[in-house]
Structure 1
Amino acid sequence: MTTALSVLDPAIIPSGLTAADTVAASVALARHAEELGYRRLWVTEHHNHPGLAMGTPPVLMAHLAARTNRLRIGSGGVMLPNHAPLTVAEQFALLAALHPGRIDLGVGRGPGTDPAAARALRRADAHDFPQAVAELQAFLGGREWPPGHPYGTIRTVPEPVAPPPLWILGSSTYGARLAAAAGLPFAFAHHFGGGDAEPALRLYRDTFRPSAARDRPRTLVTVTVVAADTAAEARRHAASQELVQLRIARGLPDALLPADEAAARLGGGATPFGASAVVGDPFTVRDELGRLMKSTGADELMVNTCVHDQRARLRSYALVAEVMAAGWGSGRRRTAPSK
């Protein structure tokens, strides 16, 4: 069984480098992913985190799409309560016009930031998320909004002749239920460390209502993966990302440190990283990702790999692509993937 693979790039800034360096690394990753046959690359939205370079997904998406040829580029996602739906529709309609058939729009209801920055962004009440999604669907569909309003209606400019697919992002059954009711594809953030992927995706499939956007369910699961030629090497590089995720979970954003320095700071203590991350040699990674695909029934896996060493990061994505290409049900190989 072959597996559809994609890339999630949160643009974490490695220690000693700049945001510009990080964006350059994102371009290199996008080109690498395209050569390896990955389907899409999504970027994230975060604010007021000095260790994260990405606050405006459409800007980075335009940069990446202009420097690749086939790879789908998307948002994973735009935090919709931070933005007016019309603004998002206009940005993505233009992106879709510039790069036809290559743009995805994933939206979430989280803040992507702290309360102070959320206020500075004039963030809307998250309870209005379903209404914002409905507005966004109308604008992307070229429909007037609000329909029949006596004071006039609004249309998206440029008109989205071929609008980008709209995905609902979530890490709970809330997003699954909304995506199913709206007839939209659903992406589950398994890389957050939650264990609710199976019930959320099952609920989504069981309650899905066909729509003009889709006639059947479509699911994607994001997962943290660090692959290397040996398990020991993978664990060493994973320390960089593990420390970042631990500090962000505690409200203490930090730069992406070199592997050995990060391991020293972790000190061997237990962290939530291992609950959902897949770390190991190629065969271990293949088996773990295969089990995740089987348990969730996901149509696609989106791999999140953020290690300090860029060569190790690119190597990890290459190993995942190679071992999953043959199908995770094909049995254990005796030779390691080529370098």
Structure 2
Amino acid sequence: MTPQQPTERHGERSEGGLFAPPPGRAPVPLSVLDLVTVGAGHTARDALTTAVRIARLTEARGYQRYWVAEHHSMPGVASSSPAVILSHLAAHTDRIRLGSGGVMLPNHAPLVIAEQFGTLEALAPGRVDLGLGRAPGTDGATAAALRREDRLREGADEFPQQLAELVRFLDDSFPSGHRYAGIHAVPGPVQGSAPGGVQSADRPAVWLLGSSGFSAQLAGTLGLPFAFAHHFSPHNTLPALELYRRSFRPSEALDRPYALIGVAALATDDEKEAYRQCLAGALSMLLLRRGRPGLVPTPEEAEAYFDPAGGRATEQERDFVDDRMAQVLHGGAEQVREELDALVGRTGAQELMITANAHTPSVRLRSYELLADAYQLPGSAG
């Protein structure tokens, strides 16, 4: 192993894993983060159908990976069960990596996650990512319903121990004498050591996710790839990435840091439509922060709400939305591409994971297509 060549472990092949060369003109690999959003006038089935369409399009166009994020009790987000969605996507794709962005570890028993993602690995060998977060992905009351009241205090303080336990289940590596030494996550490595068993060459690749320094430092210390949520914590991006790189210790998974950043970006044929769609997403976030989560409003509803001549928005709400809109890269494809390139230059990220949140499914699909064209990814007309 040399400093120029990262370790490839657990199926992280150069053509599909962490280190695939960027196709076309893209400065780094491009990937997808999908919240499986449900807009007003649409159903969860519509959103899941759109997820399949986006996954198949982005696979064909050379995107690196497709992740879904765990959220709960939010009518406008249909991704409460990442493992279920990913199994469906595995049946409709062949090459693109599939993963969680992320599974919220404190909400689940580590053994359950190991079993779910071991099953996904059996369904899609060599292309499963297990991204893990420590937030609940919801409000406090819902977190209590997910974890039971007696486990609610098991949050950030317990996360490193939960992570270590999960990795032990994935690797089937509890030491002799440990209380879990005789317990095995199935599908998993134990099947290869059973009489007549054949060992799988792969297991899910573990990532840590975060929006602050905690997970950045932990990922660095453990030598794991790190995904930072730039799309909702842009002011913490540079400090967190610096902490990750400074804390990094080589491991069996990686011999040098690998940082991905999530970025909200929407490209459209008409720049005005990009603004309208992003305004709808901003209103959705505002209503969530106000304790009134719902389906993603239509652009027409958002325009009416923020209409200076007769809208209901307060000055404080307008300030919130202005700040939110400033965090989303939106406009024509070339404009968005230039801003993405600048973001890579500022952060040194090795990969961009784009989330295109909008009310209208066809707009989201078109955005990924336009960015693929702008970067001259496979299948472009240019």
Match of 2:171 among 141, 146, 169: 141
Q: Return the alpha-carbon distance in structure 2 between the equivalents of residues 316 and 71 of structure 1.
A: 18
**After the TM superposition, which residues 235-274 of structure 1 pair with which residues of structure 2 at under 5 Å, given as runs?**
235-267=275-307, 269-270=318-319, 271=321, 272-274=323-325
Q: Would you say 1:106 and 2:120 are equivalent positions?
A: no
Equivalent residue for 2:267? Answer: 227
Question: Offset of 1:81 from its aligned partner?
Answer: 0.2
**Contact kept? 1:2, 1:325, Cα under 8 Å:** no
**Contact kept? 1:282, 1:320, Cα under 8 Å:** yes
Which residues of structure 1 form unaligned runs of 5+? 327-336
Q: Return the alpha-carbon distance in structure 2 between the equivalents of residues 11 and 296 of structure 1.
A: 27
Q: Return the alpha-carbon distance in structure 2 between the equivalents of residues 150 and 128 of structure 1.
A: 18
Question: Offset of 1:15 from its aligned partner?
Answer: 0.7
Q: Return the alpha-carbon distance in structure 2 between the equivalents of residues 74 and 25 of structure 1.
A: 17
**Contact kept? 1:8, 1:76, Cα under 8 Å:** yes
- Which structure has the greater CA radius of gyration? 2
Q: Return the alpha-carbon distance in structure 2 between the equivalents of residues 253 and 150 of structure 1.
A: 42
- CA deviation vs aligned residue, 1:33-60 (integer Å, no higher than 9, x gap): 1122111110111111122212111000
Q: Would you say 1:211 and 2:251 are equivalent positions?
A: yes
Give the 3-state SS of the residue equivalent to 1:24 in structure 2.
Answer: helix
CA gap 1:103/1:151 in 2 versus in 1, 3 angstroms? closer
- CA deviation vs aligned residue, 1:249-273 (integer Å, no higher than 9, x gap): 3332121122222222233623131
Q: Return the alpha-carbon distance in structure 2 between the equivalents of residues 236 and 125 of structure 1.
A: 38
What is the TM-score of this pair, normalised by structure 1? 0.91
Q: Would you say 1:45 and 2:70 are equivalent positions?
A: yes
Matched-pair identity in %: 47
Mean CA deviation greater in 106-115 or 270-279: 270-279
CA gap 1:262/1:338 in 2 versus in 1, 3 angstroms? farther
Question: Offset of 1:232 from its aligned partner?
Answer: 2.0
Q: Would you say 1:158 and 2:198 are equivalent positions?
A: no
- CA deviation vs aligned residue, 1:292-325 (integer Å, no higher than 9, x gap): 1111111110111121222221111111122234
Equivalent residue for 1:131? Answer: 161
Equivalent residue for 2:239? Answer: 199
Q: Would you say 1:276 and 2:301 are equivalent positions?
A: no
What is the TM-score of this pair, normalised by structure 2? 0.81
Report the aligned-residue RMSD.
1.9
Give the 3-state SS of the residue equivalent to 2:37 in structure 1.
Answer: coil
Count the aligned residue pairs.
328
Equivalent residue for 2:369? Answer: 318
